[in-house]
């Protein structure tokens, strides 16, 4: 079909093809019209019904590539005039794809039920034989054959729409809506692979938008509303990633949100930030990063604390989570990952700190100190407060595990708090060995195992205890030697050794100074003692110090006065310089304003002249175009008149001729045509005359023969019709006799029922 046909006629022709089950032909015809260059000038009101039918056929025939081509073309046509029409067509495309998936699921369910012939039979011979060669169940095979193609088509539909709508400010709302629907698709059908691809697709779109910000309809990330919509989409992405337990994608989503928050000039809503920190707590907990998990929990508590509709028990629970998460940070790094290099670890901690809005990486001591400074300790539950006192305040190496055991049982009863039991074991063991090292030099390993006594099912074996000791020694947190022959452990007695945990964690509760503490403070204590002795024994030294102090004070007073005078003089000089600079600046601004005004006046005059000249040229061009259009119109009219009379003219000759030449051609062709017609009529009349005479001579002997044949044919047809009529009449008679007999058998019941009704 020609591409210049009107859309109404195309739509009517497509509906006619659909009426005779030629959907593929109708789709190809619509595609040719929609992708044609001439369609770009068609009105949207005429093009939209055609697009709706095109989308329906694409979904019905599962032609994703054709749909993408047509939708992309329609977007380019309508984005400047009718954004609402684009949204209607794209929404219909998505809705039809969803409907097909729902229909396929219902069909698969029906097929599965129809295959079950006996509900009491658990296995059939066919199912047993099939199970030996295939691990799939019947429903799985049915879903793979019926539902999966439509699921794939729906996923491709989401990707197609997102690709077409990307980086377009006019279609930004529709883009975000489709992205949210794609997230719901991944959640509904648990499509983890597709969710990863969707996140990467949206991330690429955002990067492309930042690079191609100079395009005509490009989105502006500096616009607060646009940035807010992207933030909403990224938060929906984060929620979906957490629900699907894709923690790596969730962390990348958090990074995307942090980048957008950094760009945003508008502060984020409290509810959004609360959701942000809540998801961070889950991500850090899954990755066993208890340090940043505690920091994120603290941030989340700060935002929840600002809410006014929370109950007291909610505050208590939140405060308990903050303190417990801080206490659960292992003093010794026992992560399942290998230790990073120093630079890489610093970079990682700096990156994670920026996600939490911190200027530097947190530490266990700083988080616990923050909890105490904000008064959270007074809000926590009693068992968590007791746990804090046992681990951070009291000194009880022989009973620390015994005191902690009841608290662990209470924590284990709460599913949300039970996840902290494992890291708490590491903290408890660290405190146990740190405190034992201050009391004992050598202890039996069996004695230590008796102290490490946790309630079931949280017991720790001797192998785990030994592994913990080795890990602490490897990290430089503990200084212990294990003697397997003597079944004992020896605490390091090097007076120059110091624990990194003691320095990093603010020190450990000590019963008495250790040899290393004594050695480290020996010189400072000696200097303090000598200074006190000199002050008592040597009076001249004391007087000399007093005199030197007085001289220093006098010198300081004189120096302060001189500095004050110098400051006043410098201030006066600066004020004079500022006044001169201000005067020069003011004079320069006046000169610049005069030059600017003069330049603007000259530009206005030049612009006015240019506009006047352009207006004159446009008027001359307009008159010339009108004259040429009138001449062209007259020539076209004359050419059409010549063509309508049957005279052939090609387009090239029409373009090269003027009006006078066309009139001469018209007269010449008319005379020639009249002469040809007269000659043809004369020859034709003569030929027809002779031909008719020959026909009649041949026809005369054949008329009688044809008459006899026609009589025989009519007689046979009459007999055949009479016989068919008799057979049909007999058949109808037998059917009516049977019906009469059936009705007669029903007549007594009918009479009885009628009499009963009449009596009532």
Nearest to 157 by CA among 216, 99, 215, 206: 99
Q: What are phi and psi of 299, to 5 degrees?
A: -65, -40
Mean pLDDT of 386-397: 82
**Residue 665 clears pLDDT 60, i.e. is over it:** yes
- Distance (Å) of CA 362 to CA 290, 291, 343, 625: 11, 7, 17, 78
User: How far is 571 from 579, CA to CA, in rounded Å?
Assistant: 12
| Tokens read off for 720 | 């055949």
Domain boundary among 582, 613, 643: 643
Task: Determine how many CB atoms are found less than 10 A away from the CB of residue 226.
Answer: 17
User: How far is 671 from 146, CA to CA, in rounded Å?
Assistant: 74
Domain contains 121: no
- With both helix axes pointing from N to C terminus, report the angle between 342-355 and 247-263 in degrees, rounded to the nearest 10: 70
Q: Are residues 479 and 445 in the same domain?
A: yes
Q: What is the pLDDT of residues 168-196, one digit of tens each?
A: 888 888 889 899 999 898 888 888 888 88
- Distance (Å) of CA 598 to CA 593, 602, 728: 9, 6, 110
Q: Are residues 432 and 562 in the same domain?
A: no
Domains identified in the chain, total number: 2
Q: Which pLDDT score is estimated for 337? A: 39
Q: Higher-confidence residue: 714 or 138?
A: 714
Contact 29, 13 (CB under 8 A): yes
Q: Which pLDDT score is estimated for 117? A: 45
Q: Higher-confidence residue: 220 or 578?
A: 578
**Residue 82 clears pLDDT 90, i.e. is over it:** no
User: How far is 513 from 495, CA to CA, in rounded Å?
Assistant: 11
Q: Residue 480 belongs to what H/E stretch? A: strand 480-483
Q: Which pLDDT score is estimated for 1? A: 41
Mean pLDDT of 518-547: 80
Number of H helices, E strands in the chain: 28, 3
| Tokens read off for 22 | 């030629």
Secondary structure class of 489 (helix, strand, coil): strand
* 3-class SS shares of the chain: helix, strand, coil, % to 5: 80, 0, 20
Domain boundary among 643, 669, 686: 643
Q: Which pLDDT score is estimated for 135? A: 46
Q: Is the peptide bond before 457 cis (omega within 30 degrees of 0)?
A: yes
Q: What is the pLDDT of residues 630-653, one digit of tens each?
A: 877 777 777 777 677 666 665 556
Q: Which pLDDT score is estimated for 654? A: 63
Q: Residue 490 belongs to what H/E stretch? A: strand 488-491
Tell me the CATH number at 390.
1.25.40.860
Q: What is the pLDDT of residues 235-265, one digit of tens each?
A: 888 888 888 888 888 888 888 888 888 777 6
Q: Higher-confidence residue: 540 or 722?
A: 722
Domain contains 566: yes
Domain boundary among 520, 541, 556: 520
Top mean pLDDT of 505-509, 523-527, 658-662 is at 523-527
Distance between first and last Cα of the chain: 73
Report residue 339's pLDDT band, with 50, 70 and 90 as the boundaries.
very low
Q: Are residues 399 and 513 in the same domain?
A: yes
Report residue 342's pLDDT band, with 50, 70 and 90 as the boundaries.
very low
Q: What is the pLDDT of residues 690-699, one digit of tens each?
A: 888 888 888 8
Mean pLDDT of 295-312: 75
Q: Which pLDDT score is estimated for 306? A: 67
Task: Determine how many CB atoms are found less than 10 A away from the CB of residue 320.
Answer: 23
- With both helix axes pointing from N to C terminus, report the angle between 83-114 and 44-61 in degrees, rounded to the nearest 10: 20
Domain contains 553: yes
Domain contains 660: no
Q: Which pLDDT score is estimated for 456? A: 76
Mean pLDDT of 720-725: 92
Q: Are residues 547 and 632 in the same domain?
A: yes
- Give me the sign of the Cα torsion angle 66, 173, 155, 201: positive
**Residue 477 clears pLDDT 80, i.e. is over it:** no
Instruction: For residue 74, give every residue at least 6 positions away whose Cβ sits within 8 Å of its Cβ, in sequence order, or none.
Output: 34, 47, 51, 86, 89
- Give me the sign of the Cα torsion angle 111, 115, 118, 120: negative
**Residue 735 clears pLDDT 90, i.e. is over it:** yes
Q: What is the pLDDT of residues 560-598, one digit of tens each?
A: 999 999 999 998 998 999 889 888 988 888 888 888 788
Q: Are residues 505 and 543 in the same domain?
A: no
Q: Are residues 494 and 570 in the same domain?
A: no
pTM, two decimals, is 0.57
Lowest mean pLDDT across 118-122, 216-220, 410-414, 501-505 = 118-122
Q: Are residues 451 and 565 in the same domain?
A: no
Q: What is the mean pLDDT of the chain?
A: 79
Q: Give how far the C-alpha of residue 489 lies from the chain's centroid of Cα atoms, to the nearest Å.
A: 56
Contact 185, 155 (CB under 8 A): yes
User: How far is 374 from 377, CA to CA, in rounded Å?
Assistant: 8
Mean pLDDT of 455-479: 78
The 3-state secondary structure of 506-547 reads CCCCCCCCCHHHHHHCHHHHHHHHHHHHHHHHCHHHHHHHHH
**Residue 740 clears pLDDT 80, i.e. is over it:** yes
Task: Determine how many CB atoms are found less than 10 A away from the CB of residue 155.
Answer: 21
- Distance (Å) of CA 397 to CA 232, 447, 518: 52, 12, 22
The domain containing residue 558 runs over which residues?
533-643
How do beta strands 442-444 and 488-491 pair? antiparallel
Secondary structure class of 649 (helix, strand, coil): coil
User: How far is 327 from 265, CA to CA, in rounded Å?
Assistant: 36
Q: Give how far the C-alpha of residue 439 lies from the chain's centroid of Cα atoms, to the nearest Å.
A: 58
Instruction: For residue 317, give every residue at least 6 positions away whose Cβ sits within 8 Å of its Cβ, in sequence order, or none.
Output: 381
Q: Are residues 581 and 467 in the same domain?
A: no
């080795």: which residue's tokens? 470
Q: Which pLDDT score is estimated for 656? A: 65
Q: Are residues 439 and 512 in the same domain?
A: yes
Instruction: For residue 521, give every residue at least 6 positions away whose Cβ sits within 8 Å of its Cβ, in sequence order, or none.
Output: none
Report residue 119's pLDDT band, with 50, 70 and 90 as the boundaries.
very low
Domain contains 448: yes
User: How far is 266 from 271, CA to CA, in rounded Å?
Assistant: 15
Task: Determine how many CB atoms are found less than 10 A away from the CB of residue 499.
Answer: 22
Q: Are residues 442 and 563 in the same domain?
A: no
Lowest mean pLDDT across 47-56, 147-156, 223-232, 471-480 = 471-480
Secondary structure class of 488 (helix, strand, coil): strand
Provide the CB-side half-sphere exposure for 327 (13 A, CA): 31
Report residue 118's pLDDT band, with 50, 70 and 90 as the boundaries.
very low
Domain contains 115: no
Contact 410, 382 (CB under 8 A): no
Top mean pLDDT of 148-162, 204-218, 532-546 is at 148-162
Domain contains 613: yes
Secondary structure class of 481 (helix, strand, coil): strand
Q: Which pLDDT score is estimated for 537? A: 82
Exposure of 365 by Cβ count < 10 A (0-12 exposed, 13-18 middle, 19+ buried)?
A: middle
Nearest to 203 by CA among 248, 237, 155, 172: 237
Q: Are residues 484 and 537 in the same domain?
A: no
Q: Which pLDDT score is estimated for 413? A: 83
Report residue 5's pLDDT band, with 50, 70 and 90 as the boundaries.
low
Contact 104, 148 (CB under 8 A): no
Q: Are residues 516 and 537 in the same domain?
A: no
Domain contains 493: yes
């Amino acid at each position: 079909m020609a591409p210049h046909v009107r859309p109404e006629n195309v739509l009517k022709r497509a509906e006619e093809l659909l009426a005779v089950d030629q959907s593929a032909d109708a789709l190809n015809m619509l595609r040719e019209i929609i992708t044609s260059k001439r369609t770009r000038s068609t009105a949207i009101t005429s093009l939209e019904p055609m697009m709706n039918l095109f989308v329906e056929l694409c979904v019905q025939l599962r032609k994703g590539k054709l749909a993408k081509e047509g939708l992309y073309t329609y977007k380019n046509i309508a984005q400047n005039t009718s954004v609402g029409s684009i949204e209607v067509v794209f929404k219909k495309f998505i809705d039809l794809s969803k409907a097909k998936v729902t229909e396929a699921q219902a069909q698969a369910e029906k097929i599965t039920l129809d295959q079950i012939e006996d509900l009491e039979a658990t296995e059939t011979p066919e199912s047993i034989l099939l199970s030996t060669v295939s691990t799939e169940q019947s429903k799985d095979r049915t879903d793979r054959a019926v539902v999966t193609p439509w699921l794939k088509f729906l996923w491709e539909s989401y990707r197609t729409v997102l690709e077409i709508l990307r980086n377009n400010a006019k279609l930004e709302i529709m883009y975000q809506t489709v992205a949210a629907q794609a997230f719901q698709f991944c959640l509904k059908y648990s499509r983890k692979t597709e969710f990863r691809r969707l996140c990467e697709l949206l991330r690429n779109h955002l990067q492309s938008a930042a690079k191609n910000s100079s395009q005509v309809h490009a989105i502006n990330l500096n616009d607060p509303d646009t940035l807010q919509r992207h933030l909403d989409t990224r938060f929906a992405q984060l929620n979906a990633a957490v629900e699907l337990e894709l923690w790596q994608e969730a962390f990348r989503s958090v990074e995307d949100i942090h980048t957008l928050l950094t760009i945003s000039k508008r502060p984020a809503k409290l509810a959004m930030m609360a959701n942000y920190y809540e998801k961070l707590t889950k991500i850090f907990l899954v990755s066993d990063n208890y340090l940043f998990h505690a920091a994120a929990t603290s941030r989340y508590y700060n935002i929840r604390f600002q809410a006014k509709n929370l109950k007291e028990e909610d505050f208590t629970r939140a405060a308990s989570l903050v303190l417990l998460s801080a206490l659960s940070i292992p003093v010794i790094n026992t992560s399942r990952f290998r230790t990073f290099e120093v630079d890489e670890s610093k970079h990682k901690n700096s990156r994670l700190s920026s996600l939490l809005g911190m200027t530097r990486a947190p530490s266990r001591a700083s988080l616990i100190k923050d909890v105490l400074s904000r008064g959270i300790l007074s809000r926590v539950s009693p068992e968590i407060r007791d746990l804090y006192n046992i681990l951070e305040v009291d000194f009880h190496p022989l009973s620390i595990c015994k005191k902690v055991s009841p608290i662990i049982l209470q924590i284990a009863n709460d599913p949300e708090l039970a996840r902290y039991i494992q890291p708490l074991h590491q903290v408890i063991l660290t405190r146990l060995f740190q405190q034992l090292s201050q009391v004992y030099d050598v202890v039996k390993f069996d004695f230590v195992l008796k102290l490490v006594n946790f309630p079931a099912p949280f017991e720790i074996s001797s192998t785990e205890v030994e592994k913990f000791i080795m890990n602490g020694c490897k990290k430089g947190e503990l200084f212990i030697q294990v003697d397997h022959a003597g079944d004992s452990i020896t605490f390091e007695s090097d007076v120059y050794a110091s624990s990194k945990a003691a320095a990093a964690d603010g020190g450990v509760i000590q019963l008495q100074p250790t040899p290393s503490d004594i050695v480290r403070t020996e010189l400072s204590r000696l200097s303090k003692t000598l200074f006190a002795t000199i002050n008592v024994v040597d009076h001249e030294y004391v007087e000399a110090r007093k005199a030197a102090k007085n001289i220093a004070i006098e010198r300081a007073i004189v120096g302060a006065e001189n500095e004050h005078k110098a400051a006043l003089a410098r201030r006066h000089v600066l004020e004079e310089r500022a006044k001169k600079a201000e005067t020069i600046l003011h004079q320069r601004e006046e000169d610049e304003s005069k030059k600017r005004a003069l330049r603007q006046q000259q530009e206005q005059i030049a612009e006015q002249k240019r506009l006047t000249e352009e207006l004159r040229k446009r008027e001359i061009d307009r008159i010339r175009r009108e004259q040429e259009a009138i001449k062209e119109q007259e020539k076209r009219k004359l050419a059409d008149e010549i063509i309508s009379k049957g005279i052939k003219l090609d387009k090239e000759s029409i373009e090269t001729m003027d009006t006078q030449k066309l009139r001469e051609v018209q007269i010449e062709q008319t005379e020639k045509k009249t002469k040809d017609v007269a000659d043809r009529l004369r020859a034709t009349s003569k030929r027809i005359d002779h031909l008719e005479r020959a026909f009649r001579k041949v026809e005369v002997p054949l008329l009688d023969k044809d008459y006899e044949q026609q009589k025989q044919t009519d007689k046979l047809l009459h007999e055949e019709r009479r016989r068919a009529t008799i057979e049909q009449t007999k058949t109808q008679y037998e059917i009516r006799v049977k019906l009469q007999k059936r009705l007669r058998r029903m007549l007594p019941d009918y009479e009885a029922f009628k009499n009963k009704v009449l009596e009532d």
